[in-house]
Amino acid sequence: MDILPFFSLGAGFLFYALIKFFHKVWWIPMRIQFLMGSQGIRGPSYRFIYGNTKEISTMREKSMGGPMELSHHIFPRLQPHLHSWFKLYGMSFLQWHGATAELVVTDPEFVKEIMNNREQYYPKPEADVFTKKITGDGLVASKGEKWTKLRKLANHAFHAESLKARVDTQEISVEGIIDECKTFYTAGHGTTTLLLSWAILLLAINTDWQEKARQEVLKVLGCGRPNSEGISRLKLMGMIISETLRLYPPAVSLTRKVQREVRLQNLILPANMNLNIPALALHHDPKIWGEDAHLFKPERFSEGVAKATNNRPSAYIPFGLGPRVCVGSSFAIDEVKIVLAMILQRYTFTLSPNYIHSPIQVIAIRPKHGVQVVLHAF
């Protein structure tokens, strides 16, 4: 039997696969790099297949390899690549996650337009395998009609809007319920626990603010059980939590995808690139918050977020922004207020000499060795 036709067919398929491969990992990156460069957007050079992932991984391993001094200046530690490349390329630049281009965006007006996503130009990208295993395909990762349905249910659940939500939940499959349990544990319980941990750390260090918060709790709640009406009146506590979320936000960055070629302010963005919004960098930017941006100063929020950010509220995004803002943010903050109030009613606390300050980022920002404090009953 003549095998030449089969060999030729196989060679043709192989040639087609190679062309498709090189188009994805070489032609498209080179085209995007040229298009963005022609608009004044620079960045670290694209490296074949890997992009900048190896550089980023090496820099992060080095910066987070050991403990740091007791400081809240954690941005260079957790995102050393951004800290370095901002200095080299400016506050908006192009980096590469493998063969995928990522435009790093820090202009609050850009952030507002992207996150509000009124024209549906900037959806969430597909979650990677690791993230899906942890959060499932629930409210955080889903898109389109599925997300709309789950969001509606979540709004009902958190705000107790109607009995109909209980009926609607019957339409969710067993797999859907499992995904939502993963989501609520990871994005809900995990985020709340970390917020509480960082708030305890900050109050253990800043005992003057701890005492202010205690006096407010005793004035509003006395020694009684916290209730919803009283919790809503804890203004200083709210300021403390807002400042904690600024210094140690749940997510260091948010990612959106450019669905199709679109104009973003003065830039033309090609399709299928990602937009990286570095929340931690925004929260620690001295141009927005002042030269004391790395200090714990809850009084920043005494007149609200708009005043704290000099009328650039999209520079403060601990729970995201726009239609996909975290549905449980108010619930999480109330949970933390309740726990802190109950602690402050009974104890003073100071930082343990055994505490090692070693913030790391594993999905969220977390203390590598936990937070150890010494409780003093009164």
Structure tokens at 78: 């957790």
What residues are paired with 275 via a beta bridge?
103, 256
Give the amino acid at 328: G
Q: Is residue 20 domain-resident?
A: no
**What residue numbers bound the domain in which 258 lies?**
28-38+46-377
Mind telling me the catalytic residues? 191, 319, 326
Please count the CA atoms within 13 angstroms of the CA of 366 that sit on its side-chain side: 12
pLDDT at 69: 96
6/10: higher pLDDT: 10
The yes-or-no verdict on residue 171 having pLDDT over 80 is: no
pLDDT at 170: 56
Give the residue carrying structure tokens 């207020």: 337
Predicted confidence band of residue 206 (pLDDT cuts 50, 70, 90): very high
pLDDT at 217: 97
Q: What is the mean pLDDT of the chain?
A: 88
List pLDDT tens digits, range 259-282: 899 999 899 999 989 999 999 999
**For residue 206, what is the domain's CATH number?**
1.10.630.10
Q: Is residue 322 domain-resident?
A: yes
User: Which residues make up each annotated binding site?
Assistant: 326
Mean pLDDT for 358-362 is 94
Considering 12-16, 255-259, 295-299, the range whose residues carry the highest mean pLDDT is 295-299
Give the amino acid at 356: I
Q: Is residue 230 domain-resident?
A: yes
Structure tokens at 315: 């520079």
The yes-or-no verdict on residue 163 having pLDDT over 60 is: no
Q: Is residue 9 domain-resident?
A: no
223/166: higher pLDDT: 223
Output the DSSP codes for 238-305: HHHHHHHHHHS-S-S-EEEE--S-EEETTEEEPTT-EEEE-HHHHHT-HHHH-TTTTS--GGGGTT-H
Give the count of domains, the chain: 1
Spell out the long-range contacts of 16-24 with Cβ–Cβ below 8 A and sequence spacing 24 or more: 24/99
Mean pLDDT for 294-307 is 97
What percent of the chain is predicted at pLDDT more than 70? 83
List pLDDT tens digits, range 109-160: 999 999 998 778 898 887 766 666 666 666 666 667 776 776 777 676 666 5
The yes-or-no verdict on residue 327 having pLDDT over 90 is: no
Give the amino acid at 247: L
Question: CA 137 to CA 115: how far, in whole Å?
Answer: 21
Question: CA 134 to CA 16: how far, in whole Å?
Answer: 36
**Phi and psi torsions of 364, nearest 5°:** -105, 170
CA nearest neighbour of 217 among 238, 237, 243, 196: 237
CA nearest neighbour of 364 among 313, 318, 300: 318
Mean pLDDT for 58-86 is 96
Instruction: Of 12-26, 39-53, 241-255, 264-278, give the lowest mean pLDDT range.
Output: 12-26
Question: CA 341 to CA 215: how far, in whole Å?
Answer: 10
Question: For residue 271, what are the contacts with CB-CB under 8 A and spacing of at least 6?
Answer: 258, 259, 260, 261
With the C-alpha atoms ordered 45, 129, 186, 168, is the resulting torsion angle positive or negative? positive
Q: Is residue 22 domain-resident?
A: no
What is the DSSP-derived secondary structure letter of residue 131?
H
User: Which residues make up each annotated binding site for heme?
Assistant: 326
Q: Is residue 8 domain-resident?
A: no
Q: Is 24:100 a contact under the CB 8 Å cutoff?
A: no
The yes-or-no verdict on residue 353 having pLDDT over 70 is: yes
Question: For residue 66, what are the contacts with CB-CB under 8 A and spacing of at least 6?
Answer: 358
Considering 21-25, 180-184, 295-299, the range whose residues carry the highest mean pLDDT is 295-299
Element holding 376 (H helix, E strand): strand 373-377
Question: CA 174 to CA 177: how far, in whole Å?
Answer: 5
The yes-or-no verdict on residue 93 having pLDDT over 90 is: yes
Mean pLDDT for 92-113 is 96
pLDDT at 241: 98
The yes-or-no verdict on residue 179 having pLDDT over 80 is: no
Q: Is residue 167 domain-resident?
A: yes
Instruction: Of 16-30, 46-60, 74-88, give the lowest mean pLDDT range.
Output: 16-30
Q: Is residue 338 domain-resident?
A: yes
The yes-or-no verdict on residue 378 having pLDDT over 70 is: yes
Question: CA 305 to CA 314: how far, in whole Å?
Answer: 9
pLDDT at 152: 73
Q: Residues for the chain: how many in total?
A: 378
What residues are paired with 350 via a beta bridge?
374
The yes-or-no verdict on residue 249 having pLDDT over 70 is: yes
CB count in 10 Å sphere of residue 116 = 14
Give the amino acid at 84: S
Predicted confidence band of residue 92 (pLDDT cuts 50, 70, 90): very high
CB count in 10 Å sphere of residue 127 = 18
CA nearest neighbour of 315 among 367, 277, 361, 275: 277
